[in-house]
Chains A and B, each alone.
Chain A
Amino acid sequence: MSDEELENCKQRRLVERERYIQTVWLTLGLKHYLDSHAKQCRFLSAEPIFHTDKGLEIRPDVVLQYDSDSGALCEIKTSFPFQDNFLLEALKQLEKYGQSAIGWDTNDRTVENHDVILFCDILDINRVLPKIKEWLDNGQLKISENLVICEWGIVQSAKFGDTLLVRKRQGDARCKELNSLFSEDLKIDLQNLIVEYEKCRFTRKEPPVEYTMEQIWLYIFTKITEKFEAFEISINDILEIAYEYYIPWSNIKGEYSQVRETWIKKAMKAFCSIDLAKQNPDDKDKYKVFRDKEIDKDFLVYIIERLCRKMEESKLKQTIEPNKEQRTMEDFQLS
């Protein structure tokens, strides 16, 4: 892998991680704003599992529930593809949200009707909005429920910290209060949420693998020993700590943590691939962690560089030895 390729790979991964962090902040900002300001609309959850009436699983990024027998399934987008066919494919996800959904905090877990709210990054909105209108008009995109489109962005300031901006660009929410909040330029001071952020590092959308690795290495592993040394740990041990310290976004049925077991497993596999851990051959859920290695540079950059190189190696291997069993970066979804 050339230096330029490595740098490109690294930068892409860093951008992915930054986008994920921003999604967490948007979710956190909305939750706290609505919890403290809204009376007719409440933040129900971040990425709960809902089902359509046909049994299809849907995982909206945020679910809001209104006082009346309605609510909103929200999708947060930090970026959209530039090519029309990929953009349309990304937007098609909203079609599922437009169907009757089961999972609400009501007796029968349904509501009479709901809104679909798309939060689109402020940098993408002027490109994406006309396309959505065009495809809705010509039927290429079919969303049967009420669609509301908001733009969002985080303004960063050395003096005042981060401020989250949200503004409605199209459609009206069924909840008058929410509609009025989004119609004005909603500004949420994120600096006041620094403490909350430490407990809410994950939305329930899958993070980039290196983000999970970073959280595990820098924070979760500190609970294991009082010394910086190699140790053995199981997936369950890690999950238990994650459940204890990264609290669920809501108390609705089935939500007991922000973190999912599959993410932890992918992260541990990724640690193995860069020689920071080794899976126990007799018990696949246990890992020896080589915590005693000294990493004298930015830990995130260190793991990203090594993962990028591994990705390149595995691609090469695939080309040379296509028939051999491959364990590629797909195992931990690096790309």
Chain B
Amino acid sequence: MSIPTEDVLPIDIDMIMNEITRLSLKKPWGSVKIATLFSEANFEELISGLLAEKIMKSAELQYRVVGRNDNLALFNCTAFRRTKTLAIRGSFYALQKKPFLFFITSERNVFFSKVLLPLSRAMFPTAIRTFVQSEDLFQLLDKFSREKEIELRYTEVVSRKMFGKAFFDRRHEKRVDPNTYELFPVAFRRSREQEGRVDRIRVFGNGYDFSISRNGIVKIYKGDFKSFYRYFALEFVERAIRRWKVFEKRSRIELPQKEVRPILLKFDSNVFEDVSVRKELVNVISAYSNCEYSIIHEGNPYVYVAVLDRLDNSSFTIRTYNADSLIVIPQIRTTKASLVRFSKYLLDRFHEASMSDLINEAV
């Protein structure tokens, strides 16, 4: 099967990235990590603008342009951050093809989790970390497996139940025969059987070894950069953009008749039949960072909370709707970024839900 041209990196950048990946994976325990983001702003603007002030409080950042053409740019960056106990320095690449932005590093996990991911969070709302659903992980692995004709088997799975409660399925024992590991669809089935959703999965097969997560992160342990770029990194952003369309034009300011356009978040089962779930949901919402909230109903018999997002001064209300849904009701100013951030929080701290327009759904 031929690769569509829009999915291919220019030859020079492709070579650079593949070489970086090859050299990185040569190191013992080496891996390449890709964080995927969505941003309409230039990388330079992101760094040098107001967001940089936030970053500079605890971190330093330098960058230089490696290559650039009309729609693609590659930057080589170094970052330093001092935490309470650690001083962490490392390098990474920022690859931008608007609105896609990828942070790529072969540094250790501590740099990735303590420097690179906080850096990307600090860029909110100008840049937003992408995230997908468990179903997307399955479909992407399925596509990769079919098109590359590789049987992918899993070694480690992290699933999450309601309220983000994690459970694991690990196959760490060294088995000589790869066939003793199970095919990846088994992991998804098992997760569902335990009322969970796959949050992160590590798979291998025919020269590839990698993990992907709902947080839009790819970790490469074996394989070529090009494949992961095309099959996962690009796909994560594209799928997130598609899903986030439901958050567009929700502010009453933006609508000619100042309409109210609620969003329906539907769960697989009647989760809100249980009063303890409803009450715990209120606790989850009140623990949401950078927000002010006001509880209108605290869970008996339903949840109804107003949220004010301090990051961009926008607000919305949330209420349980029937026994299986939540509705998010945008107010005078409710930004897309704010709704994306909150939906990610619900995914992490509550449960995975399908999202749609309430009024169209009712029709």
Interface residues of A (CB under 8 A from B): 21, 156-161, 191, 194-195, 198-199, 214, 217-229, 241, 244-245, 247, 291, 294-295, 297-301
Instruction: Map CB proximity to A onto B263-276 as digits: 1 under 8 Å, 0 otherwise.
Output: 00000000011010
Instruction: Map CB proximity to A onto B149-178 as digits: 1 under 8 Å, 0 otherwise.
Output: 000000000000000000000000000000
For residue B276, give the distance in angstroms from its CB to the closest CB of chain A.
Answer: 12
In the assembled complex, 23 residue pairs joining A and B whose CB atoms fall closer than 8 Å, in A order, are A21-B296, A158-B272, A158-B273, A159-B273, A161-B321, A194-B262, A195-B260, A195-B329, A195-B359, A199-B260, A214-B306, A219-B315, A222-B315, A222-B331, A228-B311, A228-B313, A229-B313, A244-B258, A294-B310, A298-B294, A298-B295, A299-B308, A300-B295
Q: Which of these, A161, A217, A228, A291, contacts B302 with CB under 8 Å? A: A161
Say yes or no: B308 contacts A159, CB within 8 Å: no
Say yes or no: B329 contacts A198, CB within 8 Å: yes
Docked Cα-Cα span, A156 to B303, in Å, equals 11
Say yes or no: A299 contacts B258, CB within 8 Å: no
Contact residues, B323-340 vs A (CB, 8 A): 323, 327, 329, 331-333
Say yes or no: B312 contacts A245, CB within 8 Å: no
Say yes or no: A198 contacts B312, CB within 8 Å: no
Say yes or no: A219 contacts B313, CB within 8 Å: no
Say yes or no: A194 contacts B323, CB within 8 Å: no
Q: Which of these, A21, A219, A226, contacts B312 with CB under 8 Å? A: A226
Say yes or no: B294 contacts A218, CB within 8 Å: yes
Say yes or no: B292 contacts A222, CB within 8 Å: no
Q: Which of these, B262, B313, B329, contacts A225 with CB under 8 Å? A: B313
A158-B313 contact in complex given A218-B294, A298-B294, A299-B308, C-beta closer than 8 Å: no
Chain A: CB-nearest residue to B359 = A195
Docked Cα-Cα span, A219 to B252, in Å, equals 11
Chain A residues contacting B139 (CB-CB under 8 Å) are none
For residue B296, give the distance in angstroms from its CB to the closest CB of chain A.
Answer: 7
For residue B53, give the distance in angstroms from its CB to the closest CB of chain A.
Answer: 13
Docked Cα-Cα span, A316 to B353, in Å, equals 53
Docked Cα-Cα span, A154 to B259, in Å, equals 26
Q: Determine if B8 is an interface residue (Cβ-Cβ < 8 Å).
A: no
A222-B314 contact in complex given A158-B272, A195-B262, C-beta closer than 8 Å: yes
